[in-house]
Each structure stands twice: as C-alpha cells, then as structure tokens.
Amino acid sequence: MINIEADNVNGAYTEGMLYLMEEGVPEESRNGKVIVAPEPVCTTYYRPTERVLFSPERDANPFFHLMECLWMMDGRNDAEFLIYFNSRMGQYANDDGTFDGAYGHRWRKHFMFDQITYLVELLKRDPTTRRAVLTMFDPAFDLGTNSKDIPCNTQIYFDMRYNKLNMTVCNRSNDAVWGCYGANAVHFSFLQEVIAGMLDVTVGDYRQFSNNLHFYPNAPRMDIVLSQPFSTDLYLKYGWKPYPVVTNPTEWFQDLTNFMDDPHMDGANSFFYMVARPVLLAWIAHKEKKIGWAINIAESIADPAWQHACVAWLGRRF
C-alpha cells in the first residue's frame, strides 16, 4: 500500500497526482481508459480542516463543495438542490429526482435511524471504543444493482486519542481529481469537524483509504489539470485559519435545518451566517448574472480560504 502524507488537501492533491502520473497503470474501464494506482493508496491529512483546494487549473467549484456539505449533513437525497450548483449531478439521479447513494441520507435516514447522533453518544459514553463505525454501503440495496449512484465511500471509522477525533474513510473506487482530492477532502473533513464539535474535542488526523485510486486522462479539462498537477498552499503562505464550523453543538443541527429552509435566519452557530450565507448569496447573484454583486458578496465571506476560492472561481469566469 502507498502512503501519502500531507498537511492539507493542497499538499495531498500535489503528491497524489504526481504519484499517479508517474506510477499509474493504464487500464480499461466501463467509462473508458483510466490510469490506476498499482496498489491501494492511503492519504493522511494532518490538518484536515484546511479543506479548500486552490489550484486554478483544477478549478474546483467551492460553492458546490460547501453547499453539498450542508445538504449531506441535513440528511437529504433530493437532486434539485445539488443540480442548482452543479448541473452534471442530474446524470446520477433517478427519474423521481432522488439519489440512491446520497451519503448524508445514508448517515441520517436510510437505515431508519440517525447514525451520526448515535455515534456521538457512543463516543461520549466510551471515548476508547473501537466500534464507532459510520456506514454508507448497504449490501441489501447496493450489491449487484444497476443504480446510477452506488456509494464509492463505503464506511468510516472514528477513534479518539489524546482528546482528538481521528477518522478513516474507506473507498472502493476513487477518482483522484473529482473525488479523493476534490469533494471527499471537503465533505468528510466537514463531517469530522462537526462530530468533533459535538464531542468538544479537537479534529485529529483524517485518513482516506482508496482501494482503487485513479483518474480518467480523456475526461473534459484533464489536459489542463495534468499540465499543472499541483496546488499552492495558501493556508501556509498567508497563515490562514479555518473559520470554526461548530460553536454551539447543541444548536448546530437545528441551525443547519433553519439555514437550509431560510438562509437569512441567524442562529447560535455563526458559521452559517458568516460563511455559508454569503457563499450561497454570491452563487445566487452569479446565477442571475450579477457579476459585480456576486464578487462583492463573496468578498464578505469570513473564512479567508473560502473567500479566496469563491472570488477566484468567479473571477476566472468573468
């Protein structure tokens, strides 16, 4: 197994992509030619809350990444919300406008109970437990099905050491560009930070085990991505600190629901109105083609990394 260690997603993206470009093996897949790591890869993030990727060539959509985090944590599986931020998501939806493998829905509703709430209570009762497992893959539902949306990430292990919450995510098939060092680095570190906040502990290491790490060389824009397979770490360069996601754990899920229903509502957790609200409002202005207004709103985002990423993403378009 190959081990990649990095402070944050920018270092991991650089190391992971260079490794795949140098050591990856060409194979054929149901989606065409693919470059695959010759063995499983474990990526370890030592500062996982530094989750924003800055590579302009990769051009990750920060609006979509953050809003999908909130959509997941709210336990939803409707396609309409995500399609508003990324129209390509529609190709994975069912005819009824839902996703089969939505992670947040699996975490909170699919198995008929809220796994996150149960897991938090388990770790509170026994911080030394090795049974804190969050499951996404449901063999009765997923094994052998022709669904367009089967979870690639199958389960998550949590453990507490030295008052830190560590997390290991297991993935059966991981696209390095769009998944592992894109959406996964954002969504799962967000989940880790929320659970750590509920437990009143700090965020520890985040390990991503990718049984099959790969990229598709003929995918759209991959020629640009592969021309500059690295990302500058602006967290290190400017000393940026992530804005805390959880400041009032007892009110967090209620604040989340309120925000998803009405983003103009304030709450006990300032992340929603200092970071998430201007991200959402800037996207709405972008969709309405109010270019200057979108950038102006994005410049008010309290988290410096999200602010930079959103302003830069808008600027590359206008």
Question: What is the residue extent of each domain of the chain?
Answer: 2-233, 243-318
Q: Residue 289: its pLDDT value, please? A: 96
Burial of 178 (0-12, 13-18, 19+ CB in 10 A): middle
Rounded to 5°, angle at Cα 199 from 11 and 71:
65
Instruction: Give the C-alpha separation, 194 to 250, whole Å.
Output: 11
Q: Residue 62: its pLDDT value, please? A: 98
Instruction: Give the C-alpha separation, 243 to 63, whole Å.
Output: 16
Instruction: Give the C-alpha separation, 58 to 12, whole Å.
Output: 13
pLDDT tens digits, 156-201: 999 999 999 999 999 999 999 999 999 999 999 999 999 999 999 9
- Give the CA diameter of the chain: 52
Alpha carbon separation from 26 to 4, 34, 315 (Å, rounded): 21, 6, 35
Q: Residue 262: its pLDDT value, please? A: 97
Q: Are strands 202-210 and 41-45 parallel, antiparallel or unpaired?
A: antiparallel
Catalytic residue among 69, 152, 170, 180: 152
Can you tell me which residue has the tokens 């944590």?
73
Q: Residue 31: its pLDDT value, please? A: 87
Q: Residue 93: its pLDDT value, please? A: 97
Can you tell me which residue has the tokens 């026994």?
126
Name the β-bridge partners of 156. Answer: 134, 169
CA 240 to chain centroid, in Å, comes to: 19
DSSP at 202:
E
Can you tell me which residue has the tokens 């388990």?
122
CATH topology of domain 2-233: Thymidylate Synthase; Chain A (3.30.572)
Contact 271, 66 (CB under 8 A): no
Q: Residue 318: its pLDDT value, please? A: 82
**Tens place of pLDDT per residue across the chain (318 aa):** 999 999 999 999 999 999 999 999 999 998 899 999 999 999 999 999 999 999 999 999 999 999 999 999 999 999 999 999 999 999 999 999 999 999 999 999 999 999 999 999 999 999 999 999 999 999 999 999 999 999 999 999 999 999 999 999 999 999 999 999 999 999 999 999 999 999 999 999 999 999 999 999 999 999 999 999 999 999 999 999 999 999 999 999 999 999 999 999 999 999 999 999 999 999 999 999 999 999 999 999 999 999 999 999 999 998
Contact 7, 175 (CB under 8 A): no
| 152 belongs to the catalytic site | yes
